[in-house]
Structure 1
Amino acid sequence: MDEELSALELEFEWLLNKEVNTILSQLHSLIVECCRRFAVHNMPGLDSLVKTEKLQLNWSSHLDQIKILATLSADNICYADISLRLHKHAIPNQRTIVQNDCQWKLHQIQDASNHLISALNLLTSPPLRYDSNDNKYDFRSAQEVIEMINNVMGCLQRGRNSLIVPKKRTIEELQSSRNMHSLQPPLPNDLAVSFYIQSHKLVCAVYHMLRDHSGQLKFDIFQAETSVGWLSEALVLFTVSLQFCQQLKDKVSVFTQYNDMKCNNKP
């Protein structure tokens, strides 16, 4: 039993001093690679992949049609030409533009970027002991590793979710938003537009408020969307980073069941 425990302690020491640091270094590289897809301004030397791209979003039925040409740059729609044909509207044909001097902010992308930076800060400026000469962490226990990984995973999960799950807003919130005020000319009061991210897609939703024959308010909703390549890449990197975290957490957690291991609390 003593030999088995000694072997476990040696294995844990190796995991704590070697493999944990190797995996964290790989995790750091993955997160930096993900950051390259976003407009990160406080990382000097980062080889950014951010570019301005023109996208076309179309939707049509036999009566209604949405045609949108949008220019996306990081977390901003810096230009959009929106043409609507809604047969139930009093003015069926509508056209409005987002101008470069009043851009449409995509807060989901901005939030994802902020959570990425938070995850990276936990790895580059950790609250735990870090030996800058050897570029390695000096973890003293399994719990220290697990606590740090949980914090990093929390940042990554929030960043990934901000892209996958759009925040729900009421029509009133949409109409009063700063983004709606960027449309020139303004749309009629019974119309609202929302650009948002859903997974790897840029979506534009158009809401038409109208009353039915009994006077009840209802909505007709129309959506146009297009896939954005760099968002797909970013989501893959978020997912792989989370998998690295989970694998490391699982490896370390195995040793927490052995209460007699001295190296569970290294001096």
Structure 2
Amino acid sequence: MVDTEKEEALSLQHEFEWVLNKEVHTVLHQLKNILVECIKRFPVPLNLSGDSHHKPEKFVLTSGLDQIKCVLSLTGDSITHADISFKVQRQQVVSYRTSVQPDNPWRLHQVQDAVNHLHQAIVIIDNIDAEYQFRSSEEVLFTLGNILGCLQRGRSSLILPRKRTIDDLMKSRNMKSLNPALPEDLALSFYIQSHKLVFAVYQLCSLQGTMKYETLQSEASVPWLNEVLVLFTVALQLCQQLKDKISVFAQYKDFVVGPLPPLHCNV
């Protein structure tokens, strides 16, 4: 019985060493390839000069009701042109038209945020030499935790747009992109939510002495965003699976990496 337990422990130790020395590096290599492919899906400049060969993408954002319409061109992480029209209820229905012009584009910070988090994850992987030998499960878990953090923040930046107050929206730099400017009780917002580009109009109004705001919204599906989110999900799953596997070995506190006796099998 003792010999059997010793053989089992030794077998587990050999598997532990193989996972740390081989499988971790294999998965990290696979992970980097997925992240590189993910970055390629973003239509943003990938070099320091800021040059982009991506052509503007045209989208028509409409709602079910004939209250709001926006035809725009998306170039990289910026809306470089937009024709906007919408109707709001005041004492009577009032129509507004405004636009975004190429010389003053509307930035979508979520796109650049997601790319930045992907780059951070790749840097972590690149900093690990292919011949480097991990010494403990804790060391691997720390590295995977950092990578997972980058991927989760990158994915969340696209799925969960940052909530902003109506006052923040009205004072935002992007509102200065509009020509002509809108009345002070109106604010516009463009943001990404999952695979969709959303356009929203916010109207500040007083209701029984309390300031409220009403919202009009339209959206359009962006194909490359869907591809990005799929690759984010694949990378997260791959990273989490390896983390779960390493966590099993982390339960064995006496495991150390070093020269091992050969594993004998009973014939």
Question: Which residue is equivalent to 2:229?
Answer: 235
Determine what percentage of the aligned residue pairs are the same residue: 52
SS in 2 for 1:223: strand
Q: CA deviation at 1:115?
A: 0.5
Kindly indicate whether the alpha-carbon contact (under 8 Å) linking 2:99 and 2:179 is maintained by their aligned counterparts in 1.
yes
- The CA distance in 1 between the partners of 2:250 and 2:12, in whole Å, is 11
Question: Which residue is equivalent to 2:76?
Answer: 74
SS in 1 for 2:63: strand
- The CA distance in 2 between the partners of 1:121 and 1:191, in whole Å, is 42
Q: CA deviation at 1:123?
A: 0.5
Q: CA deviation at 1:12?
A: 1.2
1:88 aligned partner, one-letter code: R
Kindly indicate whether the alpha-carbon contact (under 8 Å) linking 1:31 and 1:116 is maintained by their aligned counterparts in 2.
yes
Structure 2 vs 1, CA of residues 264 and 59 (structure 1 numbering), >3 Å: closer, same or farther? farther
Q: CA deviation at 1:50?
A: 4.8
Q: Deviations over 1:171-212 (max 9, x none)?
A: 111111110000000011111100011111100110112223
Q: Deviations over 1:44-67 (max 9, x none)?
A: 9xxx99542100100143xx5101
Structure 2 vs 1, CA of residues 122 and 239 (structure 1 numbering), >3 Å: closer, same or farther? same
Q: CA deviation at 1:255?
A: 1.1
Q: CA deviation at 1:34?
A: 0.6
- The CA distance in 1 between the partners of 2:87 and 2:98, in whole Å, is 12
Which of 150, 156, 159 lines up with 1:161 in the alignment? 156
Q: CA deviation at 1:80?
A: 0.7
Residue range with higher mean Cα deviation, 14-23 or 174-183: 14-23
Question: Which residue is equivalent to 2:206?
Answer: 211
1:41 aligned partner, one-letter code: L
Which of 246, 258, 262 lines up with 2:240 in the alignment? 246
1:13 and 2:17 correspond: yes
Q: What RMSD in Å do the two structures reach over aligned CA positions?
A: 2.2
User: Which of the pair has more CA radius of gyration?
Assistant: 2
* 1:1-267 alignment, distance < 5 Å: 1-38=5-42, 39-42=44-47, 50-61=54-65, 65-88=67-90, 92-126=94-128, 130=129, 135-212=130-207, 214-263=208-257
SS in 1 for 2:104: coil
Kindly indicate whether the alpha-carbon contact (under 8 Å) linking 2:104 and 2:177 is maintained by their aligned counterparts in 1.
yes
Q: Deviations over 1:139-198 (max 9, x none)?
A: 111111111000000000000001111111111111111100000000111111000111
Unpaired runs of 5+ residues, structure 2, are 261-267
1:118 aligned partner, one-letter code: Q
- The CA distance in 1 between the partners of 2:133 and 2:257, in whole Å, is 13
Unpaired runs of 5+ residues, structure 1, are none
Q: CA deviation at 1:89?
A: 6.3
2:22 aligned partner, one-letter code: K
Structure 2 vs 1, CA of residues 49 and 160 (structure 1 numbering), >3 Å: closer, same or farther? farther
SS in 2 for 1:210: strand
SS in 2 for 1:262: coil
